[in-house]
């Protein structure tokens, strides 16, 4: 079983994941990039929240201008060593100006959550043993950062300059 | 003699807290591993990012020496760690780091705490991330330098430390920086390299190279950015890293380095994509490097207060000393000063190894003669960067007591060798005994000086940690049905005239290889023209005469 941590709290997952050949249920759905591209018009006409799940080899730029009409982009970690989604999240936030939910799904480690948070993820699909206190600890193990990222956190250089 | 604090980067409260928290974090990770909460597979990338490898016999801890600069205080701590947690010695590496071959996992958090107490760490010395940045070991001292590369190296170190986007790259990523036209940092063999250059208008900026590398597919780096303005450098590097993180191959670790991507895309396409990212990042503005920040970091590396009015001549102190001066002493920018190389290559010793006692004596030499500072070189030697010429005889005498006074810097016995099958999990063959065998064969100093500059580099497997592709003579250990064989490569160079060595042919046994090297060297001695190094003669004549000689005995 998995659960969702979103914006720092346990959250209900309202999106129903739909495989490429299944009928669409009412309400919020999470579809693949292929299905979104194929059924783009009818999906957007539904006027319900739409999420797209990207595989680690799928650049979010493939969503084009439609990205602003999505409310969720789920980025897949097929294996925790595959770090492409760190760049995809950064691009979603910084280049594409995406303000919806970016959710980490798949095989990632506790020790990667802070990096994910920094590059723009704000939701995590975690296994049952992964608790909110663990999540909060992951974000606070390192107080300061050396480089700017999508989280807008002040860098050590800026903190030095402000002293 | 009291401890001297050299002019080098010093941690402020932010750096100190960063390293302390990172140490605490790793301590927790070790506890989780020991309790079984993390599998070895899950623990592996975490420990690697903290410099901890699992080797053939034990864990190995690789400690970062940013751009090769060490203070005497740090050197004493490195000696202490070797004595307390290891077998009384450490190994200086081709990436200017030091590694310990026998630490226990439970001790590693304590070692990291000890390191943190002298502003050191092991962050990103392994793993698929941006590794500890390296630089010209003569930085801030050499006569031919445009600018000291260490401030930029420190800026890159900070930017790359736990960079959230680039800690799970397709593969490891090595960056080197140099500020001199003579390339002592092997720039063209790095994933990315920055060379400080002056443009036609006389302005200083950065030339950025990409896609060099060794391993099973060696490449010489190509120019990614001909002239990058100083304020743009981090934005430019971040742009290149992003292109690599997105598109570097992840299906085959042997094709995952940026050299493969660069050659698959072609350098033009690589430049186009990096430029696009760069334009966007630059516009975002928050990675721009303000001049005052560059100045602030540069101030840490201010030149020491050199004495003036010193004699500029090197005193007479006998023939051995004169030989040592010839190879191990180099031109310094300040009158009356010199740079002195301590080769950790006395014939018969393990290249790059130093005992705790030797490290402590070197710390004393650093304090007494070189403003408390030493550098580690990518050729696994140490360098006293700022010594008075008049002190050279005293330094030499002390090094003699340490058995570190070989007059062989850059000569045939100054061999680079990877740890090889004696330590390494990946190796196919031993390297260290081959280095020892060759060094002993050529131990006669007059003969070494007669041969002149000749760089031998030995790797115990195709991963090329011993830089064999870049050796004037490169040696690659291979395994054939359980027997170690050694292939020769000739004509490599890691300097500004970088080239990849050419494979000669079938390998030699461990008993034959030193003799084969000798026959190759003899061809050079017989055929060289005045002023030619081995490399020059090889480039003029090609492989044939060397190959004929090397295999002569095998044919008989």
Binary contact (B161, A114; C-beta < 8 A): no
Rounded average pLDDT over A11-22: 96
The strands making up B98-100's β-sheet, listed across from edge to edge, are: B52-54, B59-63, B98-100, B89-92, B353-355
Residue in B46, B151, B168, B247 to test binding to A, most A beta-carbons within 10 Å? B168
* Under 8 Å between Cβ of A54 and A88: yes
Domains and CATH numbers, chain B: 13-116 (3.90.480.20), 149-298 (3.30.413.10), 319-402 (3.90.480.20), 416-555 (3.30.413.10)
Residue in A60, A75, A87, A144 to test binding to B, most B beta-carbons within 10 Å? A87
Residue A4: alpha-carbon gap to chain centroid: 12
* Under 8 Å between Cβ of A67 and A92: yes
pLDDT score recorded for residue B552: 84
- Cβ–Cβ pairs < 8 A, chains A and B: 94
Helices (H), chain A: 33-38, 40-45, 84-94, 113-119, 132-140, 156-162
Pairs from B363-369 (Cβ < 8 Å, separation ≥ 24)? B363/B72, B363/B73, B363/B75, B363/B76, B363/B79, B364/B1, B364/B72, B365/B395, B365/B398, B365/B399, B366/B4, B366/B71, B366/B72, B366/B75, B367/B1, B367/B2, B367/B3, B367/B4, B367/B72, B368/B1, B369/B394, B369/B395
Rounded average pLDDT over A1-6: 92
CA distance B273 to B210: 13
Which among A59, A83, A147 has the least Cβ separation from residue B169? A83
How many Cα atoms within 13 Å fall on the side-chain side of residue B456? 31
* Under 8 Å between Cβ of B132 and B64: yes
Q: Which residue of B has its CA nearest to A116?
A: B164
H/E stretch holding B89: strand B89-92
Q: How many domains does chain A have?
A: 1
Please write the tens of the pLDDT for every residue from B314-341.
999 999 999 999 999 999 999 999 999 9
Please write the tens of the pLDDT for every residue from B491-501.
999 999 999 99
pLDDT score recorded for residue B553: 54
Angle (nearest 5°) at CA A15 between A11 and A19: 140
Asked if B162 has any chain A CB less than 8 Å from its own CB, the reply is: yes
> Domain range holding A93?
2-162
pLDDT score recorded for residue B291: 93
Which chain B residues have a beta carbon less than 8 Å from that of A155? 286
* Both tokens assigned to B390: 């008049």
pLDDT score recorded for residue B556: 42
pLDDT score recorded for residue B423: 87
Q: What is the CATH number of the domain that holds A27?
A: 3.20.20.70
Asked if B173 has any chain A CB less than 8 Å from its own CB, the reply is: no
Name residues whose C-beta falls within 8 Å of residue B100's C-beta, 6 or more positions apart in sequence. Answer: B60, B61, B63, B81, B82, B85, B86, B90, B91, B111
* Both tokens assigned to B423: 């330590």
Asked if B250 has any chain A CB less than 8 Å from its own CB, the reply is: yes
CA distance B69 to B72: 10
* Under 8 Å between Cβ of B120 and B79: no
Which chain A residues have a beta carbon less than 8 Å from that of B24? 141
Which among A84, A86, A88 has the least Cβ separation from residue B164? A86
pLDDT score recorded for residue B41: 87
A31 in helix, strand or coil? strand
Torsion sign, CA atoms B191, B119, A118, B293:
negative
Torsion sign, CA atoms B35, B41, B46, B50:
positive
Q: Which residues, given as ranges, of chain B have pLDDT below 50? A: 554-556
Mean pLDDT of chain A: 96
> How many CB atoms within 10 Å of residue A61?
12
**Structure-token match 């990315």, residue found:** B192
Residue B80: alpha-carbon gap to chain centroid: 23
CA distance B349 to B92: 13
Which chain B residues have a beta carbon less than 8 Å from that of A143? 17-18, 21
* Both tokens assigned to A54: 């990207």
Torsion sign, CA atoms A2, A8, A13, A17:
negative
* Both tokens assigned to B226: 């001909």
B527 in helix, strand or coil? helix
CA distance A157 to A106: 34
Name residues whose C-beta falls within 8 Å of residue B35's C-beta, 6 or more positions apart in sequence. Answer: none
**Structure-token match 């930017």, residue found:** B159
Residue in B165, B285, B294 to test binding to A, most A beta-carbons within 10 Å? B165
pTM of the model: 0.95
Q: Which residue of B has its CA nearest to A112?
A: B164
> How many CB atoms within 10 Å of residue B298?
17
Tell me what ipTM this predicted complex has.
0.97
Q: Which residue of B has its CA nearest to A56?
A: B246
- 3-state class percentages of chain A: helix first, strand second, coil last, to nearest 5: 35, 25, 40
Sequence-ordered strand ranges (E) for B145-185: 175-178
């Amino acid at each position: 079983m998995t659960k969702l941590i979103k914006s720092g709290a346990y959250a209900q997952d309202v999106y129903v994941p739909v495989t490429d050949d299944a009928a669409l249920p009412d309400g919020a759905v999470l579809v693949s990039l292929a299905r979104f591209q194929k059924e783009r018009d009818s999906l957007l006409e539904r006027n319900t929240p739409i999420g797209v799940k990207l595989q680690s080899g799928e650049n979010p730029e493939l969503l084009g201008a439609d990205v602003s009409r999505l409310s969720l982009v789920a980025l897949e970690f097929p294996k925790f060593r595959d770090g492409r989604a760190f760049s995809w999240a950064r691009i979603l936030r910084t280049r594409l100006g995406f303000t919806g939910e970016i959710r980490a799904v798949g095989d990632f480690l506790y020790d990667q959550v802070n990096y994910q948070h920094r590059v723009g993820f704000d939701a995590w699909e975690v296994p049952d043993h992964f608790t909110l206190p663990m999540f909060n600890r992951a974000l606070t193990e390192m107080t300061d950062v050396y480089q700017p990222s999508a989280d807008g956190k002040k860098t050590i250089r800026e903190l030095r300059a402000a002293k | 003699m009291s401890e001297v604090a050299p002019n080098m980067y010093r941690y402020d409260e932010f750096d100190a807290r960063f390293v302390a928290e990172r140490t605490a974090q790793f301590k927790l990770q070790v506890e989780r591993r020991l309790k079984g909460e993390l599998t070895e597979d899950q623990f592996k990338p975490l420990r690697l990012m903290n410099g901890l490898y699992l080797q053939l016999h034990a864990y190995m801890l690789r400690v970062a020496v940013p751009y090769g600069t060490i203070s005497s205080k740090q050197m004493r701590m490195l000696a202490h760690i070797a004595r307390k947690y290891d077998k009384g010695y450490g190994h200086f590496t081709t990436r200017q780091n030091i590694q310990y071959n026998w630490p226990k996992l439970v001790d590693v958090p304590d070692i990291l705490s000890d390191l943190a107490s002298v502003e050191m760490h092991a962050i990103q010395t392994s793993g698929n991330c941006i590794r500890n940045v390296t630089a010209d070991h003569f930085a801030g001292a050499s006569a031919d330098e445009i600018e000291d590369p260490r401030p930029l190296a420190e800026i890159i170190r900070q930017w790359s430390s736990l960079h959230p986007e680039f800690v799970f790259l397709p593969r490891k990523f090595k960056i080197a920086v140099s500020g001199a036209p003579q390339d002592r940092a092997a720039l063209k063999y790095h994933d990315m390299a920055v060379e400080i250059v002056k443009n036609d208008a006389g302005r200083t900026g950065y030339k950025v190279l990409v896609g060099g590398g060794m391993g099973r597919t060696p490449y010489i780096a190509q120019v990614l950015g001909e002239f990058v303005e100083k304020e743009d450098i981090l934005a430019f590097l971040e742009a290149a890293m992003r292109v690599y993180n997105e598109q570097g191959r992840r299906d085959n670790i042997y094709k995952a380095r940026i050299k493969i991507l660069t050659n698959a895309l072609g350098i033009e396409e690589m430049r186009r994509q990096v430029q696009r990212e760069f334009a966007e990042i630059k516009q975002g503005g928050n990675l721009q490097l303000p001049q005052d920040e560059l100045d602030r970091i540069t101030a840490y590396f201010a030149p020491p207060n050199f004495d003036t009015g010193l004699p500029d001549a090197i005193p007479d102190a006998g023939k051995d000393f004169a030989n040592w001066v010839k190879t191990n002493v180099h031109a310094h920018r300040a009158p009356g000063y010199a740079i002195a190389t301590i080769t950790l290559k006395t014939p018969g010793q393990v290249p790059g190894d130093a005992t705790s006692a030797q490290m402590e004596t070197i710390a004393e030499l650093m304090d007494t003669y070189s403003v408390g500072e030493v550098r580690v070189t990518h050729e696994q030697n140490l360098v006293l960067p700022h010594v008075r010429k008049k002190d050279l005889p005293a330094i030499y005498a002390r090094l003699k007591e340490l058995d570190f006074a070989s007059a062989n810097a850059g000569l045939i016995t100054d061999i680079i060798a990877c740890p090889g099958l004696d330590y390494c999990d990946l190796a196919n063959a031993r390297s260290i005994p081959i280095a020892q065998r060759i060094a002993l064969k050529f131990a006669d100093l007059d003969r070494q000086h007669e041969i002149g500059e000749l760089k031998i580099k030995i790797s115990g497997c195709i991963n090329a940690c011993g830089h064999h592709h870049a050796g004037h003579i490169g040696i690659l250990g291979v395994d054939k049905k359980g027997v170690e064989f050694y292939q020769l490569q000739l004509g490599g160079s890691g300097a500004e005239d970088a080239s990849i060595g050419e494979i000669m042919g079938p390998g030699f046994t461990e008993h034959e290889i030193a003799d084969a090297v000798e026959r190759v060297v003899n061809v050079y001695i017989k055929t060289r023209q005045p002023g030619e190094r081995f490399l020059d003669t090889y480039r003029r004549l090609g492989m044939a005469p060397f190959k004929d000689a090397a295999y002569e005995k095998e044919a008989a």
